[in-house]
Amino acid sequence: MNMISFPPRRPRGKVHVPTVTLAHGGGGKAMKDLIDDVFVAAFDNPLLAPLDDQARIDLLDLAQYGDRLAFTTDSFVVDPLVFPGGDIGKLAVCGTVNDLAVGGALPLYLSCAVIIEEGVSIDLLRQVATSMAATAREAGVKIVTGDTKVVNKGACDRMFITTTGVGVVAAGVELGAHRARPGDAVLVNGLLGDHGAAILGARGDMALQSPIESDCAPLQGLIESLLKSAPNTRFMRDPTRGGVATVLNEIAEAAQIAIEIDESATPLRNEVRGFCEILGLDPLYLANEGKIVAIVPPDEAEPAVEAMRAHPLGRQAAIIGTVVAGEPGRVTMRTIFGGRRIVDMLVGEQLPRIC
């Protein structure tokens, strides 16, 4: 690994007001103080500290991890900003880390662009930045560059965050929906629908009390364990918006295969099941932020499940279905009553602004 020399640390500014004002987006001292006091202090690392217009990363440092760069971006507009089990900052880091990890990449670096509405409290901003920093440490990534914009009150809903991630795919790791074959097993790493139900409960507009917490978590460690135990894993995806049903339909369509899942094998929390029964929702379409769907060869399915169950984020891992020789692009479910029903692609949005 090349040794990189970094410039000496410079003095950091401080914020002395309780809320964000338009001056904090004006490019002057107020903005510099906000970035220093809230973001640089939380994300503290030598690549970010110079606050140049870009982070410069040595290619030799990246090449030690693999032979292909993985690059992704996502925006987060969740409502509310803070919810049981997480907040918009944790969500922004986990979402981008997981988008890299399901491609077989080792996540390494993130950027963070924040759009803040005038009047947001500095304490809330600090809470979100601290949460992002803690989640980045947990995921083993560094937030190395970013951007801050402040907009007039009413121009956005308090705070939006965009994170972009860079990772490296190890040599020999090949994943793609087109690799799925009849007989392959469909796996998930745990209870489904927790994030969607947690957000719905946190909004409070339906007067529902819920103890459900979001499953929001960085999954690169669990995925690393899975790939070691099932090196011929065909494909992975994190079932966020649209839930497991949408992901399975995307796989079936892309690979021109049929998938059948078993309702009795699909892991669900009783509280999520109850939520869905009350509100007429299908839990297969609820969002998840700490789950993966994996397509695995039949002879590697049991080792893959065992590997996931040995990880704290995979204790309820299960085989929920099989790739079958049916109508290409079709997903069906064997119900607990012995029948079969089509599991179609989500039309519209069950719950807006869940991530």
> What is the pLDDT averaged over residues 93-116?
98
Q: Nearest 5°: CA angle at 112, between 107 and 114?
A: 155
Mean pLDDT score of the chain, rounded to an integer?
A: 94
CA neighbor of 40 nearest in space, from 51, 56, 27: 51
Residue 294's DSSP bridge partners are 187, 236
Residues 331/256, Cβ–Cβ less than 8 Å: no
Q: pLDDT category, 28, cuts 50, 70, 90?
A: very high
Domain ranges of the chain: 19-169, 177-342
Within the chain, what is the greatest distance between any pair of CA atoms? 68
pLDDT at 8: 58
Mean pLDDT of 149-166: 97
Q: What is the spatial distance between Cα 120 and Cα 238, in angstroms, rounded to a whole number?
A: 31
Q: In the predicted model, is pLDDT for residue 289 greater than 70?
A: yes
Please check whether residue 39 is in contact with residue 112, taking contact to mean a CB–CB distance below 8 angstroms. yes
Query: Could you tell me the fold of the domain covering 19-169?
Result: 60s Ribosomal Protein L30; Chain: A; (3.30.1330)
DSSP secondary structure code for residue 178 in this structure: G
Backbone angles phi, psi at 115, to 5 degrees: -105, 120
Q: Which residues pair with 105 in a beta bridge?
A: 169
**Are the beta carbons of 293 and 187 closer than 8 angstroms?**
yes
For residue 112, report the phi and psi dihedrals to the nearest 5 degrees. Answer: -140, 115
Confidence (pLDDT) at 346: 81
Q: Provide the 10 A C-beta neighbour count for residue 14.
A: 10
For residues 196-235, one letter each, b for 16 or more C-beta atoms within 10 angstroms of the residue's C-beta and e for the rest, the string is bbbbbbbeeeeeeebebbbbbbbbbbbbebbbebbeebbb
Share of the chain above pLDDT 90, in %: 88
Nearest to 283 by CA among 203, 346, 339, 331: 346
The architecture of the domain spanning 177-342 is Alpha-Beta Complex (3.90)
